[in-house]
Amino acid sequence: MLKSRTKEKIATAAIHSLLLIIIGGAIGYVFSGYGPLEIKKQPVLGTATNCPGTKLNYPRTVRDTIRGKIVSFRYNCIRSGFQFTSYDGNCKGCSGRTHFTNEPVTWGICAVDPDVIKPHSYFYVPGYGKCKAADTGGAVKGKKVDLGFEDVRHGWWIWGRRYTDIYTFVK
């Protein structure tokens, strides 16, 4: 049987050993670059200047079923306050072709203000799908977008005039 003084010495040595391990771990953590002495700033993507809306820290993918097809679109920027209407290439004075790309106006083609949305860029409109900025129009100014349809009668009852967000991908 050990004397009480010996038990006390063993307990004290064990506590000192445990404290040394904890202190050594803390010093190793601090000098490894992850501790408080070296604070690594993570990039705050929400302040990026190339997203005029809310930039997400990580890209997300939206998956939706549009016109019976599964559509997916990767985005990391949400832009709010856009007004949407529908149009087609059959209007009086219209050529039926887009201004920027000279392709027919169909679903997936959109008329935009080139000062707000870059021509030839893609964005996603919830409920409509992927949209290519391929056209412009006299009434399309600011945050207004015309959604392309083969025939506007097929789009007006779905869209009418409404406000929603758009999703874009920026680097």
Smallest CA-to-CA distance from 105 within 135, 125, 84, 131 is with 135
Mean pLDDT over the full length of the chain: 82
| Per-residue confidence (pLDDT) for residue 150, from 0 to 100 | 86
| Per-residue confidence (pLDDT) for residue 42, from 0 to 100 | 42
Which range (3-7, 50-54, 157-161) has the least confidence? 157-161
Judge whether residue 3 has pLDDT over 80.
Answer: no
Dihedral angle over CA of 87, 89, 90, 95, nearest 10: 140
| Per-residue confidence (pLDDT) for residue 163, from 0 to 100 | 92
Judge whether residue 2 has pLDDT over 50.
Answer: yes
Q: Which helix (H) or strand (E) holds 57?
A: strand 54-66
Residues 131-149: what's their mean pLDDT?
92
> What is residue 14's three-state secondary structure?
helix
Instruction: Tell me the pLDDT band of 67, cut-offs 50, 70 and 90.
Output: confident
Instruction: Tell me the pLDDT band of 112, cut-offs 50, 70 and 90.
Output: very high
